[in-house]
Chain A
Amino acid sequence: MGRYGLKPSRQSAFPEKPLGSTRRDSARSWIVLVLIATALVLYISSEQVQRTILSLIFPSETQFTHTRKTILQMTTAHISLTLGATLLSAVVGIVVGIAVTRKAGKDFQQLVLRLNSFIQTFPPSAVIILAFPVLGFGWKPALLALFLYSLFPILGNTVVGFQSVSPAVIDSAKGMGMTWFQQLWIAEFPQALPMIFTGIRHSYILNLGTAAIAAVIGGEGLGTIIISGLTLRNSALVLSGTIVISLLAFLGEQLFHMVSSGR
């Protein structure tokens, strides 16, 4: 049964790949992935590399690293926060998304979709600043704020993904005697998957950025170096944090791209 459910679809949201060039594209994707990963590892693991690059751009600057924390530490915290929040939102978003697209939960569907578009209008900084008085200070509140904020893209996309399954398909699935679970797993989920995937990707990128702002309420990510760069008027520090976040974004995009096109 697993084979049915998890096979990536060639339909809908996943871009159609031109025939014949699959192999070359696949090789190219891997090369890009390895390049980004290498750049990231080189940069975060060696202060020498950071110093060399940053001094090229800001020759007059003298301080290139944060006084208390290494880039490696901050990156680890940043990744944990981002992935943790994304994973949580994915699990909760998909489960709730499935629930409200079932017969019993249909009543809540409109509510969920409306809440989704409402929350999308909040800028990330507002989310963090609003979270502070309510949730307090530290990485746990940061995680909670990120989770709540990134839940809705996944939830919304899950609902839309399941809504896009044609009634004829559901009908024929029922008509051939599929159980409730088989209908969900074999007939519907694979068709909703591209949309869900897009939601997860969106939410990952969103979290990557919001996690930086979360430094103000004690999320110990790359926002720490960016904020101290801003207070010290040291652009090199801001850039250093930004470089890593950008590389993480590229890496994520590339991974999502490769998984969704089945390479």
Chain B
Amino acid sequence: MTTGPVRPTLEESPSFLKAEHISVRYGETVALNDVTLHIPTNRVTVLIGPSGCGKSTTLRCINALVKTSSGHIDYGDASIQAMSETDLRRNMGYAIQSVGLMPHMTVEENVDLVPRLLGWKRSERTERVSRLLKLVRLDPQVYRNKYPHELSGGEAQRVGVARALGADPPVLLMDEPFGAVDPLTREQLQDEFIRIQRQLKKTVVFVTHDIDEAVRLADYLVIMKDGMIVQADTPEQILAAPANEFVERFLGPDRSLKRLSLFTADHCCLEQVVSGTGKPSEAQLPKGSNRCYWQVDADGKPIMGFTWIHNRIIERPITSSTHTVQPYSSMKECMSAILSLGMPATAVVDDDGRLYGEVRFETIQTISLS
């Protein structure tokens, strides 16, 4: 049984993008105060913190839109001050907070802009625009020829993301890219983001206000306040050990549950199961009120759960999909299934609904204490 973090550790991702002791001042305002941040390569770094804490400023320092008052940022071997701004920025897709689509260009022309500036072939580009629009869940047929003023806020934002991805840059800077999108689409976009990121392995710096989004997407979570970094670590580590009260408050009262959402059923706790096609005899049912017996039908699908409670056998019919979980369900969902079934464990089923294993309450307890 492994209870360690699901995601790859950050040690394997040496950084080629490093901010060393950077400070930014706008007149009297100190927007960034001695920030040192090493962006892990091929990983998602999420910046989060209250409004005005300097998240956007950090992003804009990275692509040299904002000049640092002190400190320096290195990209590869060179300081970005020494590089041509144009070259630097063409290596970094930037989805800006206020979207900033060209109002006189159609959606297609907007998404096509960077590939076009880079001189890609037309045939290549047309196809790419369609792919990118589909990726952000916009139907190319419908949206291609629309102008930005004909789009809703959320649609415009997604076009902005497609545009940032345009020329397939190795680094992506995304400033609240899903901020104006409805929760359902946002979740789909996050799924899509995670899926693409697993394939493409870009170096992403992502700004958000939404702690759930942050925990979900981050390999490296950076919590900022008043132009400084309060804590920067893997989300697991931060949820397990918030550095101070501010971080703890920021994570919210349900941080233990949030932490559970980082683990999936198959990685942590597939236990050996006791099952059979009939009802269990007293001898068949494992001893103790922390174990279960699962009755399965001819196809191997669980239909009934049994356990001991106060020396009596308790049975619970499995009637809904919320009573079972799948191997890739999060521990949070396992917890919910355990509670809704009213048993000390929940059955894990495979894609065909066949019994595959179980997740016990006591295991979840162990994890949340670890």
Which A residues contact B (CB, under 8 angstroms)?
4, 7, 9-11, 166, 168-179, 182, 186-187, 190-191
Specify which of A11, A169, A175 lies most central, judged by the most chain B CB atoms within 10 Å of its CB: A175
B65:A169 contact, CB within 8 angstroms: no
A172:B104 contact, CB within 8 angstroms: no
Chain A residues with CB under 8 Å of B63's CB are 175
- Known A-B contacts A4-B105, A175-B65, A177-B117; A10 and B147 likewise in contact (beta carbons under 8 Å): yes
- Known A-B contacts A9-B103, A11-B147; A176 and B98 likewise in contact (beta carbons under 8 Å): no
Check B109 for interface membership: any CB of A closer than 8 A: yes
**B114: contacting residue among A176, A179, A190, CB under 8 A:** A176
Complex Cα distance, B102 from A187, in Å, reads 7
Q: Which residue of A has the minimal Cβ distance to B91?
A: A177
Q: What is the CB-to-nearest-CB distance from B44 to chain A, in angstroms, rounded to a whole number? A: 20
Complex Cα distance, B94 from A176, in Å, reads 7
* CB-CB contacts below 8 Å: B105-147 with A: 105, 109, 113-114, 117, 147
Chain A residues with CB under 8 Å of B85's CB are 174, 177
A175:B96 contact, CB within 8 angstroms: yes
**A169: contacting residue among B87, B102, B109, CB under 8 A:** B102
Which B residues contact A (CB, under 8 angstroms)?
63, 65, 85-90, 94, 96, 98-105, 109, 113-114, 117, 147, 149, 160, 163
Chain A residues with CB under 8 Å of B149's CB are 11
Chain B residues with CB under 8 Å of A11's CB are 103-104, 147, 149
Chain B residues with CB under 8 Å of A7's CB are 104
B86:A177 contact, CB within 8 angstroms: yes
**A172: contacting residue among B86, B90, B94, CB under 8 A:** B94
Chain B residues with CB under 8 Å of A191's CB are 103-104
A176:B89 contact, CB within 8 angstroms: yes
Could you give 19 example pairs across A and B, Cβ below 8 Å?
A4-B109, A9-B104, A11-B103, A168-B98, A169-B100, A170-B100, A171-B65, A171-B98, A171-B100, A172-B101, A172-B102, A172-B163, A173-B100, A174-B85, A175-B63, A176-B89, A176-B94, A177-B114, A186-B102
B94:A182 contact, CB within 8 angstroms: no
Complex Cα distance, B147 from A190, in Å, reads 14
Complex Cα distance, B86 from A250, in Å, reads 47
- Known A-B contacts A4-B109, A191-B104; A177 and B90 likewise in contact (beta carbons under 8 Å): yes
Complex Cα distance, B275 from A180, in Å, reads 71
- Known A-B contacts A10-B147, A182-B117; A171 and B96 likewise in contact (beta carbons under 8 Å): yes
- Known A-B contacts A4-B109, A11-B149; A176 and B102 likewise in contact (beta carbons under 8 Å): no
Complex Cα distance, B65 from A178, in Å, reads 12
Chain B residues with CB under 8 Å of A190's CB are 104
Chain A residues with CB under 8 Å of B65's CB are 171, 174-175
Chain B residues with CB under 8 Å of A10's CB are 104, 147
Complex Cα distance, B114 from A240, in Å, reads 57
Chain B residues with CB under 8 Å of A166's CB are 100, 103
Complex Cα distance, B148 from A9, in Å, reads 12
Chain A residues with CB under 8 Å of B98's CB are 168, 171
Specify which of B88, B102, B105 lies most central, judged by the most chain A CB atoms within 10 Å of its CB: B102
Q: What is the CB-to-nearest-CB distance from B176 to chain A, in angstroms, rounded to a whole number? A: 13
Complex Cα distance, B98 from A72, in Å, reads 57
Complex Cα distance, B149 from A9, in Å, reads 12
Complex Cα distance, B85 from A113, in Å, reads 32
**B86: contacting residue among A4, A169, A179, A186, CB under 8 A:** A179
Chain A residues with CB under 8 Å of B94's CB are 172, 175-176
Q: What is the CB-to-nearest-CB distance from B8 to chain A, in angstroms, rounded to a whole number? A: 30
- Known A-B contacts A7-B104, A9-B103, A191-B103; A177 and B89 likewise in contact (beta carbons under 8 Å): yes
**A174: contacting residue among B89, B101, B102, B114, CB under 8 A:** B89
Given contacts A169-B100, A171-B100, 15 further A-B contacts (CB under 8 A): A11-B149, A172-B100, A172-B102, A172-B160, A172-B163, A173-B102, A174-B85, A174-B89, A175-B94, A175-B100, A176-B113, A176-B163, A177-B89, A186-B102, A191-B103
Chain A residues with CB under 8 Å of B147's CB are 10-11
Complex Cα distance, B104 from A36, in Å, reads 32
**A177: contacting residue among B88, B102, B103, B109, CB under 8 A:** B88
Complex Cα distance, B88 from A176, in Å, reads 9
> A-B pairs with the 9 shortest C-beta distances?
A172-B100, A177-B89, A168-B100, A177-B90, A175-B94, A168-B98, A9-B104, A190-B104, A177-B86
Chain B residues with CB under 8 Å of A186's CB are 102, 113
Complex Cα distance, B105 from A169, in Å, reads 12
Specify which of B65, B94, B147 lies most central, judged by the most chain A CB atoms within 10 Å of its CB: B94
A176:B90 contact, CB within 8 angstroms: yes
Q: What is the CB-to-nearest-CB distance from A95 to chain B, in angstroms, rounded to a whole number? A: 22
Chain A residues with CB under 8 Å of B100's CB are 166, 168-173, 175
